[in-house]
């Protein structure tokens, strides 16, 4: 298996623009997680899905952030409009069942100018 | 509330020396505990995990960790460090159904030749 795939790996955009981050989980994994990593706040869980359904989105910072999982093999995290404080590395992870290891993707480094 | 503390932000060791990275957690019930490693520009990789049973857990790359309930600790150890171990190490506790991982701030390990 290719592991968790994220695209793009790097994204540079200007404040106010819409940003869409993409994730393909490992085939057969029922859980998908979105994390954000910053120097100030470390690794934070933003939202996670089970069988394509959002279970806990309490970590989503504000309404500018939204996440979807239209099918078992694809998820998006959208920021609209983006702000410089959204600059971070965004990770997607997936796991097979509850309590199992989470496999992380390589991350998307987002820079908002 | 659940939390994880990694007291050491940076640690430098010589190649071949032993290593211990500290982790303390706060969690009301029996915790699920994890150590992840992140190499520069990469996602996180699971080193080892503790769910129950033997409190000394063996992981990949020669790492081990010991769960000490009385001290609320889960310290990571390696008897002889290799230059390739230079990376950032994250301790995490599983909370809220154990899919929701709460990460510590990380410890950055440098290895001198």
Using CA atoms, how far apart are residues B88 and B59, in angstroms rounded to an integer? 16
Chain B contact present for A47, CB below 8 A: no
A54: left (phi over 0), alpha (psi -120 to 50) or beta: beta
Identify the DSSP state of B69: G
Yes or no: say if B60 and B48 are a contact pair by the CB < 8 Å rule. yes
- Cα atoms found within 13 Å of the Cα of residue B71, Cβ hemisphere only: 10
Identify the DSSP state of A80: S
Number of H helices, E strands in chain B: 0, 12
Interface test with chain A among B33, B37, B43, by most A beta carbons within 10 Å: B43
Nearest alpha carbon to residue B47 among B21, B11, B25, B8: B21
Tens digits of residue pLDDT in B30-74: 788 999 999 988 889 999 999 888 899 999 999 999 999 999 999
Q: Looking at the predicted structure, is the pLDDT value of residue B98 above 80?
A: no
Q: Looking at the predicted structure, is the pLDDT value of residue A52 above 80?
A: yes
- Both tokens of B110, joined, read 């440098």
Question: What pLDDT shows up at residue B97?
Answer: 57
Using CA atoms, how far apart are residues B15 and B84, in angstroms rounded to an integer? 9
Q: What is the mean pLDDT of chain A?
A: 93
**DSSP per-residue letters across A9-21:** SEEEE-TT--EEE
Cβ pairs bridging A and B (under 8 Å): 47
Nearest alpha carbon to residue B79 among B23, B16, B22: B16
Which of these ranges, A43-47, B85-89, B94-98, has the smallest mean pLDDT? B94-98
Using CA atoms, how far apart are residues B89 and B112, in angstroms rounded to an integer? 17
Confidence of residue B94 (pLDDT cuts 50, 70, 90): confident
Q: Looking at the predicted structure, is the pLDDT value of residue A12 above 90?
A: yes
Tens digits of residue pLDDT in A81-94: 999 999 999 999 99
- A104/B43 touch (CB, cutoff 8 Å), yes or no: yes
- Residues ≥6 apart with Cβ < 8 Å to B45: A104, B36, B37, B38, B39
**A-proximal residues of B, 21-80, CB under 8 Å:** 32, 36, 41-46, 49, 51
The residue in chain B having the minimum alpha-carbon distance to the alpha carbon of residue A37 is B105
Confidence of residue B29 (pLDDT cuts 50, 70, 90): confident
Q: What is the mean pLDDT of chain B?
A: 91
The residue in chain A having the minimum alpha-carbon distance to the alpha carbon of residue B90 is A43
């Amino acid at each position: 298996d290719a592991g968790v795939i994220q695209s793009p790996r790097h994204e540079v955009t200007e404040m106010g623009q819409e940003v869409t981050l993409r994730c393909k989980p490992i085939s057969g994994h029922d859980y998908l997680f979105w994390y954000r990593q910053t120097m100030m706040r470390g690794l934070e869980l933003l939202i996670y899905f089970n069988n394509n359904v959002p279970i806990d989105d309490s970590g989503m910072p504000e309404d500018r952030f939204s996440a979807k999982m239209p099918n078992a093999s694809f998820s998006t995290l959208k920021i609209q409009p983006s702000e410089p404080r959204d600059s971070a590395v965004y990770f997607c992870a997936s796991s097979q069942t509850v309590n199992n290891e989470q496999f992380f993707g390589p991350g998307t480094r987002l820079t908002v100018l | 509330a659940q939390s994880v503390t990694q007291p050491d932000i940076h640690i430098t060791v010589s190649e071949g020396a032993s290593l211990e990275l500290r982790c303390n957690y706060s969690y009301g019930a029996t915790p699920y505990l994890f150590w992840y490693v992140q190499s520069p520009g990469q996602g996180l990789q699971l080193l080892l995990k503790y769910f129950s049973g033997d409190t000394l857990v063996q992981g990949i790359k020669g790492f081990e960790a010991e769960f000490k309930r009385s001290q609320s600790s889960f310290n990571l150890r390696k008897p002889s460090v290799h230059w390739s171990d230079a990376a950032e190490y994250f301790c995490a506790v599983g909370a809220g159904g154990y899919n929701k991982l709460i990460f510590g701030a990380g410890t950055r390990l440098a290895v001198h030749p």
